[in-house]
Structure 1
Amino acid sequence: MEMGMVARWKLRWQTWDLRVVILVSLGLQILLIFVAPLRKRVSRAWITMPIWSAYLLADVMANFAVGLTSNSQGMKEKGKTMSIQCRHRSGPFADPTLLAFWAPFLLLHLGGPDTITAFSLADNELWLRHLLGLGFQCCAVGYAFIQSYPNHKFWIPTLLIFLVGVIKYSERTRALYLASSRIFQDSLLEDPDPGPNYAKFMDEYTSKNNAKLPTSIQMIPEPSKRNKTGTDEAEEGLSDLEVVQAAHKYYLTFRGLIADLIFSSAQRNESRDYFLKQTARDAFKIVEVELNFFYEILYTKAKVMQGKYLGYPLRVLSFILTCAALVLFYSIEKKKFHKFDIVVSYILLVGAIALDLIASLMILYSDWIAIALTKSEPPNWFIEKLPNWFIEILQCLLNVKRQRWPENPKPKWFSPRKIMQIVRLRWSESLSQYNLINYCLHPRMGWWEKTIGFFGLTIILDGIKYVNTEDFTSHLRDLIFKELKMKSDLADDLQKAKEIFSARGDWILKHEGHINLLDWINKIEFDESLILWHIATELCYYTDHSTDEKNSGNSYDDNTKLNRELSKVLSDYMLYLLIMQSPMLSSIAGIGKMRYRDTCSEVKKFFRGRKILKEDVNFHKIFSSSKCFSCYFSKYCFNEEKGQDKKLQEACESILKVNTEVSPVTVKGDRSKSVLFDACRLVKELQKLKWKQLWKIISKVWVELMSYAAGHCRVNAHMAQLSKGGQLLTLVWLLMAHLGLGDQFQIHEGHARAKLIVSK
């Protein structure tokens, strides 16, 4: 009986397998075209994981369906007995005509939607695998078509869909190819430059000397094209369209950053002068749009679509072919086919047309089209051929001058206005927060912690448990831009710019006259200074009682309170990058993880000794209690206790009470890399200042530490974050490049212009 049930289920699956798989494949295409763009706007696992799953499953489903189609077609050629058996098993699939008609749709699905070609940068390097896949899948689809050809009623619409599938799959393969590191770099390289003809010049010089003519060489300086306007007042705010136009202009200039190319001083000066005139809002908006262009050429089909000759024309052609296939399929008599299979065929056809229409609308309302229609840059060949009156009509219909950034405050999460705001975001506009002392205050549950660590899940659970997010506010934006603008204004020459670029807190301390604090920057590694200043910021934050109303007075103004809050946000953000996003700081992190672990160990040991940290959870008492286990688990494991700020304040005050006259390394040696009490000594040095000056210095130090990390983060790490909601660190990196703060500018002058002067 059990064998009969298994046989029935097997028969059902063999009957419906291809139908289910091909519909699921279409559903995944619809899901990806709508959801994939969210990954550049939301830095949450709940959106990243489904996109990753759908991205992988879409290819698996399409490949699996192609295999099923070829297998079913092959089985039907194995003789009359097998044909009868197959007809019994596969029901409506006895006629191979529809199988051959469905097969090209799978090729089309393998081409994927326009909104995602690569999930990560590594996928771009696999373009050759996709090229081979294109060849193999075309052969498989062609095999299914040939097997059914003598009696194929739908051979014309099948051929049309096959052509569309080849176009789509070729677009995806070419997008991966163009975004691969080597090809992308090669595409940006200019023609080799041998320079002026030195040999000819020297031959002429030698001949003049041999003729005993008084000859000298005069160097004619290259005329400067720079218009020094950086010290002028900031211009009025740019319109949203002007922001997009400026972003595209500088994208074309600075896209070489992705390929580690160098830039000339003329390019630096032009960009620097422009950004020095901008407001903080406009400067960051330009950088946001520019990074959005980077994202689209690396992770979508944008670069293929913007091709000079084949982008838009091929898209129009594929849409026409799909519509023609639908018309031809509708006009052919289909009475002998199963009704459900006819419905599936129409779903595939309408779905293909709908996906094309949605993709076309996304293209029409994209920044690329706005740039092409306003002709701020050389437009696409296809658009260039359009008459001016038609372009003006398109500008009105597509509302290219529309507002692209809402000025209203952020509404609640699930409101329709919030959803619309997310759609209009260029990045997540949030900063993840991770705090060392808060982490150490949480009670750890002995064997439970060890079990989690054994399976390598500690970092994942810690990310869920201890990482919070803060919005990227206009106050933080203004602070960062003010500091970078001040440094850029002082960096007139490349040497000064490189000096500022290499500073990691020491430059601002010298500039502000706090030489006594330099030892906490210069004499230690970057990762040590980051953790040390993080703890110092936390200790100052929770022991600063001057923020209370009764103690504030006139000396503690709103600006000081703002610096205090921004310092903590940047402090927690930088520690999050060091611990949770270590690839971004891998080139400068050193032994940061080891130092962090040793510091956490000492903090916990100190808290246990002072009875601040609660003892480990006793599971025997939990299970024997009348209360449910989930309540205790929520309380102890996720620390949902009230009064957390009060507990943090108590912990920080107890740390600062320790006498630190003697250096910790003198007492403990240097085996342990903990910096807990070194941070205490820094705090006591900082507290010699007034609170107003203290928070001003700390906020500036954090901006410089972040700038140093941004400039020394690998470019691939910056680009990888674009598909994960983006990072503030990446915006700062690109903004620094535009302000001329970097080591990419290594071409000081153009060609020398030497002239032979023969004296009379």
Structure 2
Amino acid sequence: MDGGALALWNKWATQILVVLSFSLQVVLLLLAGIRRREANPVLRLLLWLAYQLADSTAIYTIGHLSLISSTAVEHQLVAFWAPFLLLHLGGPDNITAYALEDNQLWLRHLLTLVVQVLGAAYVLYKHIAFAGSGDMLLVAAVLVFVVGSIKYGERTWALWCANFSSIDSSLKKHPRDKLGPFYPEPDVSEGLELNDEFLLYRAHSQFHVCKRGIVDSVIELEPGESRDDRIIVDLEHRHMWTMIEMELSLMYDILYTKAVVISTWFGYCVRVFSPLAIAAAFLLFQFNGSKDGYNRIDVAITYTLLGGALLLEASSLLDAVGSSWALTFLSGTRWAWLRHEALCYGRWYQLHRAVVSLHRFVGFTSSSSYIKSRRWSGTMGQYNMLHFCCRDEESTSYYRPLLGRLAKLLGYQEWWRKKHYSGAVVISAVLKKVLFRSLHGLFVQQNEVNTMGILRKKWGQQALEKWGLHDILRSELGVELHEGIIVWHLATDILLARINEDSKREDKDLVEVIRVLSNYMMFLLVRRPYLLPGLAQNWLYQQTCNNLEKIWHDNKSSPISSHGFARINELFHLYDSPDSSALPQIEMLAMILFLDEPGYSRERPRLSYSYTIVEVLESKPGKIVNPLVVLLDVWANILVYAANRCSRESHAKKLNSGVELTTIVWLMAEHLHQLSLGQKQGV
């Protein structure tokens, strides 16, 4: 068996590698778009494997071709495949980098580009006559070689353009995109709502704010130039959320695709030249009389490579000219006749709608998925510490036993627990309104930011000062943000557990918003600490969990829990996510914490701080009418602080696996800060 497999590899190694390289390109093209949202882990793994294998497979195959001696005349055609490997190294237009760090390796890609182009040229030179196959095949090989070299160079150029320093430099040369009078009117044929396409155009017109924010650049206005803040003022908060989502999708294009390179004169010329060159190569090969002497499998592979390349390049052309990036390019072109023909007569808009319709047809859906693919999924993570500490170890192995046991075997038990007890909820319209109101108050009305748009005060400080509680609860905000989140998370669960059912029903929306905000900040602390500013303190979280687990196991047989623990434990075996089914158990531990708390304890200071918060809010000092309103303001302030103070690089990194709520809040704050500056300067 081994000898048979080895003999098969020795005879067909080149063919296998070339087909594999082409297959990986198809996988990349089809799956690259899933990174715009939280995708299925299996699909993400498949995409990651394809990205990692694509370059190494093509590079290895070029090296293999340069070393083999084509003594067999019937296999001389394999030399024609070397230029196609350069085309594969260029990759699809919708993916250049898998992670943000890949953009920093552009110099390495440049060196690899030079080596591989020389390698492919050597293969062609070594077999330049193609065993007497004639000039037609040679011309076809040269055409594909030119296209492949250009597309590979484009990818390296795109990686360089995606560096923050390059984005900053481009902002200094071209501070903003101007759509001018070519701004299309909204289509309200389906009602009074602004459609996504119109908001995408507005996102392009305001995209300079996102680019400036991501690289901490400063935009200087030219004399007599307006900030165009009217766009922000005119939008309702729900439409502004959509526009922000679109802007972040455009930033994803810059960081992880070839969008910057494509939307240039050179890029569009390449998109027109490439399918024409591949079509010419296809015809030259078709009418090459000597191809009948080649191996039939080699001929079939060559047709597959030519046909696949033609289809991919034609698709690239349609996507490029029909993309909204083309509108920005046409609006800013110096060729007035082209701008007039394409935009004033509406020809580009007709082409754009045709491309969108084609995407709908190919996707077998009647919805505008092509535009909506730029929309955020609208979900936020959830993680509740009390729910985690109430866990039953046996249930962890009972639920999904294979994955749980495998994680334990590999030493990833803690990671599995955190992931297993995490969940997600859809962000409600009430929460969006609350966050927008908080942002508008901090950045526009009260001007609580410095000239760089950074919040001046500590997390939660502004909210406590608003209610006259800062002097009382100053210490309870914590030394670091991570500590403050843990303290207020525990206090929130305790306070919500102590509110009677009538009050909960009366303030249902308020309770729900507070709960999801509290669980979301804990989700960031546990699962995505890189999206929080300040010093990460995992030990603090671990120590608090240990204390909570000890309290739970010491008291779960107490009178407060004995009457309902059996039924809750049964529920717990069926549900392992922080949803409504876990609330009885969470509230039970919260009540145990409140009744068990002996006062300040050096061993459990976070629990003591939480108890103090609950006592103060329940006593309703000063301006407090409803403690729930105070909790809501504090959590909204903490979230805004975390989004505003988080590193811009962290926001950019998260774009390749779906937009995070903190990134949405950060960019909205950037827009409101620009609005505030415009109002101050009277422009």
Other structure's SS at 1:428 match: coil
Q: 2:600 aligns with which of 663, 666, 671?
A: 663
CA displacement 1:426-481 (0-9 Å, x = unmatched): 33321111111111111347999999679551343124311111112222212111
Q: Distance in 2 between matches of 1:383 and 1:49?
A: 47
- Normalization by structure 2: what TM-score? 0.83
Q: Distance in 2 between matches of 1:417 and 1:685?
A: 55
Aligned match of 2:46: 50
Aligned match of 1:394: 348
CA displacement 1:616-675 (0-9 Å, x = unmatched): xxxxxxxxxxxxxxxx9x959969999633222222221111244x3223xx4xxx6x51
Matched, 1:729 2:658: no
Q: Is the 8 A contact 1:443 1:636 kept in 2?
A: no
Q: 2:530 aligns with which of 570, 583, 605?
A: 583
Aligned match of 2:89: 110
- Normalization by structure 1: what TM-score? 0.75
CA displacement 1:112-135 (0-9 Å, x = unmatched): 000100111111111111111111
Matched, 1:60 2:56: yes
Q: Is the 8 A contact 1:664 1:678 kept in 2?
A: no
- Report deviation, 1:97: 3.1
- Report deviation, 1:183: 2.9
Q: 1:246 aligns with which of 202, 206, 211?
A: 202
Other structure's SS at 1:675 match: helix
Q: Is the 8 A contact 1:101 1:158 kept in 2?
A: yes
Q: Is the 8 A contact 2:157 2:261 kept in 1?
A: yes
Matched, 1:563 2:559: no
Q: Is the 8 A contact 2:459 2:641 kept in 1?
A: yes
Other structure's SS at 2:619 match: coil
Q: Distance in 2 between matches of 1:636 and 1:511?
A: 43
Q: Distance in 2 between matches of 1:705 and 1:493?
A: 14
Matched, 1:687 2:646: no
Q: Distance in 2 between matches of 1:419 and 1:396?
A: 15
CA displacement 1:48-67 (0-9 Å, x = unmatched): 32221111111121112212
Q: Distance in 1 between matches of 2:546 and 2:343?
A: 71
Other structure's SS at 1:431 match: strand
Q: Distance in 1 between matches of 2:228 and 2:663?
A: 18
Matched, 1:142 2:73: no
- Report deviation, 1:491: 3.8
Q: How does 1:352-363 map to 2 (within 5 A)?
A: 352-363=309-320
Matched, 1:327 2:258: no
Structure number with higher helix proportion: 2
CA displacement 1:198-219 (0-9 Å, x = unmatched): xxxxxxxxxxxxxxxxxxxxxx
Matched, 1:37 2:16: no
- Report deviation, 1:358: 2.3
Q: Distance in 1 between matches of 2:476 and 2:580?
A: 37
Other structure's SS at 1:687 match: helix
- Report deviation, 1:181: 3.1
- Report deviation, 1:568: 1.1
Q: How does 1:614-693 map to 2 (within 5 A)?
A: 635=573, 644-660=582-598, 662-665=599-602, 668=603, 675-689=606-620, 693=626
Change in Cα spacing, 1:749 to 1:540, as seen in structure 2 (3 Å) is closer
Two-structure CA RMSD over aligned residues (Å): 3.9
Other structure's SS at 1:504 match: coil
Count of residues in correspondence between the two structures:
636
Flag the structure with more relative contact order, 1 or 2, with Cα contacts below 8 A and sequence separation at least 6.
Answer: 1
Q: Distance in 1 between matches of 2:649 and 2:60?
A: 33
Q: Which amino acid aligns with 1:705?
A: I
Change in Cα spacing, 1:721 to 1:383, as seen in structure 2 (3 Å) is farther
Change in Cα spacing, 1:342 to 1:31, as seen in structure 2 (3 Å) is same
Q: How does 1:331-370 map to 2 (within 5 A)?
A: 331-333=287-289, 334-370=291-327
Q: How does 1:290-309 map to 2 (within 5 A)?
A: 290-307=247-264, 309=265
Aligned match of 2:10: 14
Aligned match of 2:149: 166
Q: Which amino acid aligns with 2:424?
A: T
CA displacement 1:324-357 (0-9 Å, x = unmatched): 0011111112211122211111110110011112
Q: Distance in 2 between matches of 1:493 and 1:652?
A: 35
Aligned match of 1:310: 266
Greater Rg by CA: 1
Q: Distance in 2 between matches of 1:383 and 1:102?
A: 42
Q: Is the 8 A contact 2:341 2:347 kept in 1?
A: no
User: Structure 2: any 5+ residue segments left out of the alignment?
Assistant: 175-191, 398-403, 559-569
User: Structure 1: any 5+ residue segments left out of the alignment?
Assistant: 77-82, 88-93, 192-235, 407-413, 614-631, 751-760
Q: Which amino acid aligns with 1:305?
A: I
- Report deviation, 1:298: 0.9
Change in Cα spacing, 1:456 to 1:733, as seen in structure 2 (3 Å) is farther
Change in Cα spacing, 1:685 to 1:355, as seen in structure 2 (3 Å) is same
Change in Cα spacing, 1:56 to 1:245, as seen in structure 2 (3 Å) is same
Q: Which amino acid aligns with 1:583?
A: Y
- Report deviation, 1:721: 0.6
Q: Which amino acid aligns with 2:383?
A: Y
Q: Is the 8 A contact 1:66 1:137 kept in 2?
A: yes
Change in Cα spacing, 1:123 to 1:529, as seen in structure 2 (3 Å) is same
Q: Distance in 1 between matches of 2:222 and 2:469?
A: 35
Q: Distance in 2 between matches of 1:499 and 1:188?
A: 21
Q: Distance in 2 between matches of 1:398 and 1:447?
A: 51
- Report deviation, 1:385: 5.9
Matched, 1:483 2:416: no
Q: Is the 8 A contact 2:487 2:607 kept in 1?
A: yes
Matched, 1:719 2:652: yes
- Report deviation, 1:532: 0.8
Q: Is the 8 A contact 2:356 2:368 kept in 1?
A: no
Other structure's SS at 2:206 match: helix
Q: Is the 8 A contact 1:563 1:695 kept in 2?
A: yes
Q: Distance in 2 between matches of 1:507 and 1:242?
A: 36
Q: Distance in 1 between matches of 2:46 and 2:625?
A: 47
- Report deviation, 1:12: 0.9
Q: Which amino acid aligns with 2:542?
A: R
Matched, 1:544 2:499: yes
Matched, 1:178 2:161: yes
Q: Distance in 1 between matches of 2:367 and 2:197?
A: 23
Change in Cα spacing, 1:165 to 1:659, as seen in structure 2 (3 Å) is closer
Q: Distance in 1 between matches of 2:585 and 2:254?
A: 48
Q: Is the 8 A contact 2:342 2:348 kept in 1?
A: no
Change in Cα spacing, 1:677 to 1:446, as seen in structure 2 (3 Å) is farther
Other structure's SS at 1:36 match: helix
Aligned match of 1:439: 388
Q: Is the 8 A contact 1:326 1:349 kept in 2?
A: yes
- Report deviation, 1:393: 2.7
Q: Distance in 2 between matches of 1:324 and 1:510?
A: 72
Q: Is the 8 A contact 2:492 2:518 kept in 1?
A: yes
Q: Is the 8 A contact 2:104 2:160 kept in 1?
A: yes
Aligned match of 2:180: none
Q: Distance in 2 between matches of 1:501 and 1:57?
A: 47
Q: Distance in 2 between matches of 1:402 and 1:709?
A: 37
- Report deviation, 1:519: 2.2
- Report deviation, 1:299: 0.7
- Report deviation, 1:512: 3.6
Q: Distance in 2 between matches of 1:707 and 1:160?
A: 54
Change in Cα spacing, 1:11 to 1:495, as seen in structure 2 (3 Å) is closer
- Report deviation, 1:504: 1.6
Q: Is the 8 A contact 2:210 2:247 kept in 1?
A: no
Counting aligned pairs with the same residue, the percent is 26
Q: Which amino acid aligns with 2:634?
A: V
Other structure's SS at 1:119 match: coil
